[in-house]
Chain A
Amino acid sequence: MGSAIFPLIATLPCPLLFPLNLFYSLQLVPLFIFIGGGTVMSGAYLLRLAMGPHVSWNRNGNPEPWNKTEPTQQHKFYSVNMDYSKLKKEGPDF
């Protein structure tokens, strides 16, 4: 596949400034960009889940972390048209 590019390169108007082996491996750079980007994004999502009150990680120690937040705290990543200065709604007990 890469060798099919060779005739095309031979017709380039400018002189080649790097060896052809380097050119072939440079073709792989977009692959690394996308794989690296995907890894970064999934890692960032895992971090967000770990830090925030979204998931119960420790069933015995901290079973329901979303109950420990203020009623005015935003849990979504991005919200449109939402005024988060609301009141807590029920009979406090237990």
Chain B
Amino acid sequence: MSDVIEEKIKNYRTAPFDARFPNTNQTRNCFQNYLDFHRCNKALSDKGQDVAPCDWYQRVYKSICPMSWVAKWDDQIEAGSFPGKI
């Protein structure tokens, strides 16, 4: 399973089509992947597993999200004021 993900991360070009967000507005796609990355990190490190598969979500949100949003959310996470549920 994880080598499939490694393969996909190695061959990554851009964020693939996501049927949950089919329209032009990809805001929710960006936010969802950001949340999924942090949730994945949290869940896998709680279980003691390697967090390398979570890099997929990071690649996707870095492709889609504006850098200012990512910087703002990272600051909010450090300050403890991030509004999403992680």
Contact = CB atoms under 8 A, between A and B. Distances in A.
Chain A contact surface mostly: loop
Interface stretch (B50-58, B62-70, B71-79): B50-58
Given A63-B85, A89-B8, A89-B56, A94 B19 contact: no
B22 interface: yes
Interface in B13-71: 16-23, 28, 32, 36, 39-40, 42-44, 53-54, 56-57, 60
A76 B23 contact: yes
B22 A91 contact: no
Interface of B: 1-2, 5, 8, 16-23, 28, 32, 36, 39-40, 42-44, 53-54, 56-57, 60, 85
